[in-house]
Amino acid sequence: MHRLIHRVAIALAVVGIGVVASASAASAHGFTSTAYVDLTASGDGTVVAELDLEYDLLVVSAAENENDDDFFQEGMGLFETGDEATALRAHSDTVLAYIDDHFGVAASGAACASRLVQEPSAHIRDEVPYATFVVSYDCEVGDGGYEMHSTLFPDDEGYVTDAKTIVSYDFGEGEGSVVLDSAHTSWSSDQPFWERLGEFFLLGAEHLLGGIDHILFLLVLIVGSWRLREVVLAATSFTVAHSLTFLLAALGVVDLPASIVEPVIALSIAVVAGWYLWGAWRRRSEPSLDLEEKRGFLGLTRPALLRLIVVFAFGLIHGLGFAGALGIDEPWSWTLLASLLVFNVGIEAVQLTIIAIVFPLLMLLRRRRPRLALWLGVVLAAAVAAISLVWFVQRLLGVG
């Protein structure tokens, strides 16, 4: 039995150290970018695409793709001057060539020919300069539906760790929105609805697993819980909160900039980790302190209930982070509601899976070696708190 307990302790330590080490090696989300595309089809087979692409990333990628050093020099020289459109217009052929290599529309299986139909422009979106290109695709109308693909700003270009393309479409017979990324680079209007929902489920699961800050938040919730009821209620409260934020963001009711959301997310992790450290200090000589306290609403102790309220409040902020990752910050995103709900189910499924694996091991260790379990939690929480505070400062200063 002692050997089993030691293995459990080692397993928990390895999991915690591995997650914390990966967190300290890189930023929580890395450098990510979102491209926005509005597609509108007419009855004669013409599809007009309005592409909104992050300006500096477009300049670097297109200049390298087409070996246009002049565009790189001029484009970066005008970055954040308000005159970015000048470089875009002078080198529109370079940008259109890049777009043609990484984005396309097809009808009934045949590629549609592209042409620029409006002068490029630039504006501020998501607090950074974006370039807007309006491209017309001339398609042969057939019996099949429309298809699109996007590999804009792929990982192998070396500039981003994650790039998504948010596509809003209106093909007459149907309208809606889809999200394309490196794992899902194409979409067809003939795609069954259930397949589209399945992709959003996987996208939600992948986003939580890829967002190390959200994983750390969940881990400190687990180590700070003394009953299965507490951790499940905390995780569910977190999910309900960020689902609510999704809905409000889709309706355009809430619109907080990432410069506020991301630092608060980092701070929330530090607060929850600090909460555990405070509790650990209280029970340094009484490991079962929480189990002996009077329980009230939902069978929770007063500290556990207060923590639940705090988790719900921070869940609202994390929800804005999830929404920002999908570009859910404009009224048209209401068409994504069904997919967003499935996206949240994917997040919740991963959360419950992590709880199902880690919490039983933690409880076993607490029963057999309570002090060892307590100090393992202290080491993990202290490391998470330190990393989160570093993230908070970095994001506050805009360098994280």
DSSP summary character for residue 174: -
- Residues 76, 151 share a domain: yes
Strand locations in the chain (E): 32-41, 46-54, 103-107, 110-111, 113-116, 121-125, 128-138, 146-150, 162-170, 175-180, 186-188
- Best-predicted range by mean pLDDT (94-108, 265-279, 377-391): 94-108
154 vs 290 pLDDT, higher one: 154
Q: What percent of the chain has pLDDT over 70?
A: 77
Q: Which of 30-34, 145-149, 294-298, 299-303 has the lowest mean pLDDT?
A: 294-298
Spatial contact of 391 and 213, defined as CB atoms under 8 Å apart: yes
Based on the fold, state whether residues 162 and 250 are members of the same structural domain: no
pLDDT tier at 252, thresholds 50, 70, 90: low
Question: Are 78 and 87 within 8 A, CB to CB?
Answer: yes
Distance CA 242, CA 340 (A): 11
Instruction: Compute the average pLDDT of residues 158-186.
Output: 78
- Shared domain for 231 and 289, answered yes or no, is yes
Question: Residue 333's pLDDT is what?
Answer: 45
Reported as half-sphere exposure (CB side, CA atoms, 13 A), residue 251 has a value of 8
Under DSSP, the state recorded for 301 is B
- List CB contacts of 385: < 8 A, sequence separation 6 or more: 269, 270, 273, 274, 277
| DSSP-assigned states of every residue in 366-399 | HHH-HHHHHHHHHHHHHHHHHHHHHHHHHHHHT-
CB atoms within 10 A of CB 172: 9
For residue 95, the model assigns a pLDDT of 95
Q: Are 154 and 243 found together in one domain?
A: no
Q: Quick check: 30 pLDDT over 50? A: no
162: helix, coil or strand?
Answer: strand
The predicted structure's pLDDT at residue 25: 41
Rounded to an integer, the average pLDDT of 32-58 is 89
Could you tell me if 357 and 369 lie in one domain?
yes
**How many angstroms separate the CA atoms of 274 and 297, rounded?**
24
Q: Would the pTM count as exceeding 0.85?
A: no
Contact 134, 47 (CB under 8 A): no
Ramachandran angles phi, psi of 284, nearest 5° = -60, -30
Q: Is the predicted pLDDT of residue 355 greater than 90, yes or no?
A: no
Please say if the pLDDT value at position 9 is more than 50.
Answer: no
* Residue 146, pLDDT above cutoff 90: no
Domain with 60, as residue range(s), is: 32-191
Output the pLDDT for position 209.
75
Question: Which tokens belong to 311?
Answer: 């988790």
What is the side-by-side order of every strand in the sheet holding 103-107?
110-111, 103-107, 146-150, 186-188
Question: Does the residue 377 lie in any domain?
Answer: yes
Residue 136, pLDDT score: 94
Q: Do 6 and 38 reside in the same domain of the chain?
A: no
Phi, psi at 243, each rounded to 5°: -70, -40
**Phi-psi region at 117: left, alpha or beta (left = phi > 0; alpha = psi -120 to 50):** alpha
Q: What is the 3-state secondary structure (H, E, C) of 77-146?
A: HCCCCCCHHHHHHHCHHHHHHHHHHHEEEEECCEECEEEECCCCEEEEECCEEEEEEEEEEECCCCCCCE
Q: How many domains does the chain have?
A: 2
Rounded Cα distance between 170 and 173, Å, is 8
* Domain presence at residue 201: no
If asked whether residues 9 and 60 sit together in one domain, one would say no
Structure tokens at 235: 């995780």
Q: In this structure, are 101 and 70 located in the same domain? A: yes
How many other C-beta atoms lie within 10 A of the C-beta of residue 63? 22
Question: What's the mean pLDDT when you consider all of the chain?
Answer: 78
pLDDT of residue 61: 93
Task: State the average pLDDT over residues 337-365.
Answer: 82
In a domain, 198, yes or no: no
The confidence score (pLDDT) of residue 283 equals 63
Q: Give the distance from CA 378 to its chain's centroid.
A: 28
Query: Contact 180/186 with Cβ under 8 angstroms?
Result: yes
Least confident range from 22-26, 141-145, 174-178: namely 22-26
372 and 236 in a single domain? The answer is yes
Contact 37, 50 (CB under 8 A): yes
Instruction: Among 191, 226, 241, identify where a domain stops.
Output: 191
**Which of 63-67, 286-290, 395-399 is predicted with the least confidence, judged by mean pLDDT?**
286-290
- 19 falls within a domain: yes
Considering the domain boundaries, does residue 205 fall inside one? no
Q: Please answer whether residues 98 and 68 qualify as being in contact, where contact means their C-beta atoms are separated by less than 8 angstroms.
A: no
Residue 322 lies in a domain: yes
Q: Is 277 in the same domain as 389?
A: yes
pLDDT digits (tens, 9 = 90+) for 78-100: 998 989 999 999 999 999 999 99
pLDDT band at 17 (very low <50, low <70, confident <90, very high): very low
Residue 150 lies in a domain: yes
- Which residue bears the tokens 């459990």? 8
Would 204 be classed as within a structural domain? no
Residues 84 and 146 in one domain: yes
Q: Are residues 262 and 354 in the same domain?
A: yes
pLDDT tier for residue 323 given thresholds of 50, 70 and 90: low
Confidence of residue 173 (pLDDT cuts 50, 70, 90): low
Q: What number is the average pLDDT over the span 376-380? A: 84
